Amino acid sequence: MTTNQLVGEMARNRSGWNPAKLRESRELHGLTLEAAGEQLRQTARKAGLTAPAANFQTLWQHEQGEIYPGPHYRRAYCLLYRSTEPELGFRRALPGEVNGTPTAYADDDRARVATLAATLSRLLPENRDDGFPPIAERVLDAWRTRGHGPTSGRPLLVLVGGFAGSGKSEVARFLAQLTGWALLDKDPLCRPLVEHLLTELGCDPNDRHSETYRREVRPLEYQCLMESIYLNIDNGLSTVATAPSVAELTDPAWTQRLANRCQAHQVDLCPLWITCDEDSMREYIGFRSAARDA
């Protein structure tokens, strides 16, 4: 299979994508493919986006469903056509969106709570078969009482793991912003130390796959993160921590040791593994262009 065929196959399998809506939006604005491309470039530049090439062949491939538009293209399309991603057929609407636009609830707290509860129920597992408690209600309770007194129940450690580009950091930040719980992210916490150690060991500072990294650096990286987590646990602070943790979360003995440490300090543990389709992970990794992903 050629590269173009592979890209086309990935695009056709993208859930919720309806490329016909993109063509309909262009025609409603009375634009030819050439005119739409020119306006798309101008819109991207004005918005401070990386201006896409936006030639008419590329736009035609987007509208025919042969290529799924990347992040910069999607943002530029939304600005040009004054529409949201669901309205342009890039994805399905999220909970709380009507045609992709967040519903305005004014001061209706019941509606806000219901919308957030629906979002959390889709994001977080409600019925777990691994012995760990569900956390959607705990998050909702913390959000409702934030700044107005203590939350109910014991402190909670939420350990968010997942492959690169899966969205684990976004999920962790979302939970921390909602609840006000402490946030520990391995990358910003340990990256300067990791890069310096790799350089001193004669390795590429961005390499995360060499045997030297796995043997000499990775254990120290995770030890730094875990010591920070333990400090919060020992002081009864609810914490959201995120790292890939591929080896750790697939090791029952490691998870049990962490659960025992939490239990000894009257802290509940909730490990979360974030799943994501390969196309989205690949797209996000390419979009963030981090040297460590090369």
Which alpha helices (DSSP H) does the chain contain, by range?
Answer: 3-12, 20-28, 33-46, 56-64, 71-81, 109-123, 136-145, 168-179, 186-200, 211-212, 218-234, 246-249, 252-264, 278-288
Please say if the pLDDT value at position 99 is more than 60: no
Percentage with pLDDT > 90 across the chain: 33
Position 2 scores a pLDDT of: 46
Write out pLDDT tens, residues 186-236. 988 998 999 999 999 999 988 888 899 999 999 999 999 999 998 998 888
pTM of the model: 0.64
CA distance to 52, 58, 96, 181, 188, per residue, from 74 (Å): 10, 13, 21, 33, 28
- How far separated are the first and last CA of the chain, in Å rounded? 23
Q: Which residue has the higher pLDDT, 268 or 111?
A: 268
CA gap 185, 168 in Å, rounded: 10
Query: In the prediction, which pLDDT does 8 show?
Result: 46
Task: Report how far residue 285's alpha carbon sits from residue 294's, in angstroms, rounded to the nearest whole number.
Answer: 9
